[in-house]
A and B are shown apart, each in its own frame.
Chain A
Amino acid sequence: MTNNSNENVIVRTITPLTARQIQLSTESEGNTFKIDKEFVMNVSLVGTVIKVLDGNTYTNYTIDDGTGQLNVRKFKRNKQNNLDDQEEQEGQEEGEKKKSEQIENPFENKYVRIIGNLKEYKNQKSFSVTKITEITDSNQITTHFLEAILVHMQRTKGILKKEQATSQESQIKEEKIEIQKETNNNNNIISQQNTTQILGLALKDKALRLISSNQTSSGISLQELSKELKSTEEEIREIVDFFLDQGQIYITIDDEHFRSTD
């Protein structure tokens, strides 16, 4: 692989993809596409054929794999291909298209596997089909998408470390993870309790300050305290009971109004 954009990159692997990945791919170097940051040339798709247009030089299939739709072309090996008569051919194509739309292509409305070449041509993506076969074992639909997910994950997140470790190593790792989880849980519980205590203290302080700052003869009410401190009346009740016991506040007109003894 070189960085010279005029040279073609050669990639020998077949990448299982979804139509959506192809639609979303924008990166390319030269005329080779990159998906998930890796060069792709030969790709495989699994989907249903929803439309077939039979032309003179190629057959155009519209594939829907549930993630999106894609037009792919299978070029015909036609000895009579003569590019000088292109206009005539195009005229003929129109006519032939109309005819062949009525003829049923064996792949129409069936699940197929397509292996082909993804290329960029004049800023447009083109997919040229090397092989199209009907899927007879429907489990291949499931496995294709599983493979696409796997390759996508490997290329975006790296190969799973577990795959590299021996089974013994991975067992030890799993045990460590379990112990870590337990410690984390315990730490969480302790820190939660600490937090509640600290918040509780802060609330009491605020409550006392509010009560002290109230200079009216009837004092501040439970409801007002609850509103100001944004706490429930039960919580406020607990707090005022504490201060009442301590002698720091006293009740005034009824047991829901308080004044500070200071």
Chain B
Amino acid sequence: MSSATPRINFKYLSQFEGKTIRIIGKVGEKQGNNVILHTTDNGQVIVDRSKNLEKNYQTNIVEVLGIWNNNQLRELTFFNLSDNFDFTTYNQMIDLSMEHKEIFM
């Protein structure tokens, strides 16, 4: 059985301390090895990119897959998303997926 890497947004982060998760957001300011990600539900997440520096984000909106620990998301990989990505619907989908965890995690 493979393990899940759940899609979440800022408000659910506290429930996933230490877990590998996916979070989508707009790429923000770069601070050394870190990048700020503005999540779909208006949160800010510090992404530690040190293990994946050779690959650059190629779009304005990305999905980062990483480990959430000590208020930082340690990036393992990321995916470029299209610029027309709708944040509102996505947030609603996340809420629904939390109500139906049986098919998601």
Residues of A within 8 A of B (CB): 18-21, 23, 48, 64, 66-70, 109-111, 136-139, 141-142, 145-146, 148-149, 152-153
Contact = CB atoms under 8 A, between A and B. Distances in A.
A109 B79 CA distance: 7
A7 to B, nearest CB: 29
Contacts of A23: 1-2
A146 B7 CA distance: 13
B104 A66 contact: yes
Interface in B55-105: 61, 77, 79, 81-82, 84-86, 89-90, 93, 96-97, 100, 103-105
Interface residues of B, number: 25
Interface string B11-30: 00000000000100000000
Nearest to A137: B82
Contacts of A145: 7, 93, 97
Contact of B103 (A137, A138, A149): A149
B34 to A, nearest CB: 22
Nearest to A148: B103
A145 B90 CA distance: 10
B7 A111 contact: no
A21 B2 contact: no
Given A20-B104, A138-B85, A142-B90, A66 B22 contact: yes
Contacts of B90: 142
Contacts of A142: 86, 89-90, 93
Contacts of B7: 66, 145
Nearest to A135: B82
Nearest to B90: A142
Contacts of A21: 103
A145 B22 CA distance: 14
Contacts of B81: 111, 138, 141
Contact of B61 (A48, A67, A138, A152): A138
A137 B71 CA distance: 31
Given A66-B7, A139-B85, A142-B86, A110 B105 contact: no
